[in-house]
Amino acid sequence: KQEVTQIPAALSVPEGENLVLNCSFTDSAIYNLQWFRQDPGKGLTSLLLIQSSQREQTSGRLNASLDKSSGRSTLYIAASQPGDSATYLCAVRHTPGAGSYQLTFGKGTKLSVIP
């Protein structure tokens, strides 16, 4: 059974710092990996999706990398801002087969950016 782990569970940084969030998964037979942010009381907003054949994806100040063979992904946030404060979730989608369209989520990293 696929398990997704995110470390750290919570992180507090001063505004302007660059930071890295970590995600690891136990079964490397994934189709893709998706990073989301969740604001309190809200749903999930998709940030980046990396296909299994890709090494990284970038969007603005965000950069996500994927090392499928070692079961790891990182989300890099440059020049953090208070508006980046949220919970960040990673999720993996399995290779085709029964139940392949579901996502398996980590429990998230709660980020606080201090002004």
The residue among 18 and 95 lying less far from another protein, judged by its C-beta, is 95
Residue 2 in the binding site for another protein (CB under 8 A): no
The residue among 9 and 114 lying less far from another protein, judged by its C-beta, is 9
The residue among 61 and 107 lying less far from another protein, judged by its C-beta, is 107
- Phi, psi of 18, deg, nearest 5: -85, 145
Residue 31 in the binding site for another protein (CB under 8 A): yes
Residue 55 in the binding site for another protein (CB under 8 A): no
Q: Is 31 left (phi over 0), alpha (psi -120 to 50) or beta?
A: alpha
Place of tokens 């085709």: 96
Residue 104 in the binding site for another protein (CB under 8 A): yes
Residue 40 in the binding site for another protein (CB under 8 A): no
Taking the C-alpha atoms of residue 10 and residue 27, their distance in angstroms, rounded to an integer, is 24
Q: What angle do CA 100, 29, 75 make, to 5 degrees?
A: 95
DSSP state of 20: E
Residues at the site binding another protein, with contacts judged by CB under 8 A: 31-32, 34, 36, 41-46, 49, 51, 89, 91, 93, 96, 98-108
